[in-house]
Structure 1
């Protein structure tokens, strides 16, 4: 189902596709370094790839948390990744007015999970003509996402992806209900598993989100086994010193080995 993402390489591959990169755009040098490494791996393994990076982080617990390096500066870095490596890019938007701005730089507009019911935001993203990746709200059932899909389609855009990122479990944890993947695939759109945000531990007393990155492989294997079309993985060369969401990101050096394992899982279930 990679035909939903124009310009993606290895579209004819039988592999899952990958959305991966840093949580936030921290600077040009590190963004290009991460992209170069992932492109090298995914080209070797023939995995269709979309570079991920948030130009701004709007949903933060504390006012002193890192939110970005400036919208235009970060969006230009996303555009440079695209031009240098020939891969599509995805970034999230938070308000309707941002859709047209971000669409000038990236190929996929991502709707954050907490905003997946915001009609004006979905319609604005749809009207850009870009692919719209809607993250399932932690507070919603998989079946409820049919309404988000309909909002984008009814706005004249059928390039839609749905991404699961777990369900709220108490106040400080998330749990993944893997039944949701086939439920959402039944809507006729590609479904992605967010393997890193689904392992967050939000609402910590410190105001900094925790995570369980040791379970990324477990979540990814299970998602592929039940039919996920793609995986979303935030990765960084030094997660402990990442400026955003380091507690649940994958160490970049571990990505290739993980993808090799997942290809074997994919081959076993096809």
Structure 2
């Protein structure tokens, strides 16, 4: 195991700045719940003959107020955490043999070294658009399940406040190769255009599943090389994803600032 300290890179700073911002569907949810809370707050000042109605409104208001408080508090804490890391300007780099990777029950993940040391880290996840596509921005993930390629050598880049900035598996690099779109690809994206896709070839080193509220399907992120990909393929994946699986990930690069589209995942 080795440890070193170095300056934050420009990419690290951009990631931390993105984490400290509220945007996309997170912003819409915050605004929606805040507006609902204000509406129920105003209803408390409207005279009502039924005492049961007033009590019910008060209870809902208290519930919504508590929810909004914790949501906005989380935003403020993440913003402060990111700014502290940026102001410090340095990060630690830990290289170790991975003994285990697991969700720690507090929203983050624990990387366990073969020496027994545990690194409890907050994990940034790529943002997701309304259409379910991966964005270039980041948000603080709340991880429900995590698994890693046990036995692999891993390098962790960690901010002074415990934010995971980058993960590198030196012995499991990914190879990217351009390829021409097939007719099947064009039908998947609903467009008949010429162009290229990108094929990422490598081993899945991590599988991360964030907490999903509601009955919808869970989002799944897989790490190939040093990059996290949101696994929402346009064609159903034939193989169950797990660390150690060699795969070919076919991705259609976005145009004019659009998010990339994952076409499909194939076992190597």
Q: What TM-score results when the alignment is normalised by the length of structure 2?
A: 0.25
Larger strand proportion of the pair? 2
Which structure is higher in RCO with an 8 Å CA cutoff and minimum separation 6?
1
Q: What TM-score results when the alignment is normalised by the length of structure 1?
A: 0.24
| Bigger-Rg structure (1/2) | 2
